[in-house]
Amino acid sequence: MVVDRRVEDYRRHQLVASGMGVAFVGKAWKDNVAVVDARGSSLEEVLNSLKTGVDSLLAGRANAAQQPGAKLYVAAFRKIVPSLSDGHFAMLKAHCRAPNQSLTATELAGAAGYANYSAVNLQYGLVGKLLWEELPTKLPIGSDGNPIYTFALAESGDRTGPEAQWVWRMRPELVAALVELGFDK
């Protein structure tokens, strides 16, 4: 008897789908807890259902969430630290240490050794996405219809100049968490 099985990582969840013949089932796991179940007629159908379920779960949590406190940020950051690069750490530390915890994307690029602010938009957005997947909150939606994940890390500041000079102010709760984790040193 041959059993088909696929395991995928999706939005910091592990998706497991298996079955044989016409019976396929799956679960999405987060921190060793099953959070979504699915059934379907193929592995692909089950995996797509699990992804949809995880997306709905995160969106529901984000829409219901209050702005989290520092303790929740600490817990979330401890989970994402293994996924962060040296550039990510450099940006977070520089942002945390900056006066009023406010920097432009160009200044963040300099801190991380990136060529320009476009790299920061991508990389800081990736850090924000990792954080959001651990600690969903309501985020503004960009012109492409996707959340602007940088807002998981920072609030927008002065937007009067060119985009390279727009200011990001790190969320106070995140600052408190990063100080507790030693990012201010």
Do residues 94 and 153 make contact, with C-beta atoms less than 8 angstroms apart?
no
Provide the pLDDT for residue 63: 79
Distance, in Å, from the CA atom of 25 to the CA atom of 30, rounded to the nearest integer, reads 17
Q: In this structure, how many other beta carbons lie within 10 angstroms of the beta carbon of residue 151?
A: 19
Instruction: Output the pLDDT for position 68.
Output: 82
What are the C-alpha distances in Å from 77 to residues 22, 70, 72, 95, 102? 41, 10, 9, 15, 20
Q: What are φ and ψ of residue 145, in 5° steps? A: 90, 0
Task: Please tell me the pTM assigned to this model.
Answer: 0.81
Strands 13-20 and 167-170: unpaired
Spell out, as residue ranges, where the chain has pLDDT lower than 70: 1-2, 65, 158
Q: What pLDDT score was predicted for residue 67?
A: 76
* Angstrom distances, CA of residue 38 to CA of 10, 154, 175: 15, 35, 39
Are 109 and 119 spatial neighbours (Cβ–Cβ below 8 Å)?
A: yes
SS3 of 170, please?
strand
Q: What is the pLDDT of residues 23-61, one digit of tens each?
A: 899 999 999 999 999 999 999 999 999 999 999 998 888
> Which pLDDT score, from 0 to 100, does residue 66 have?
73
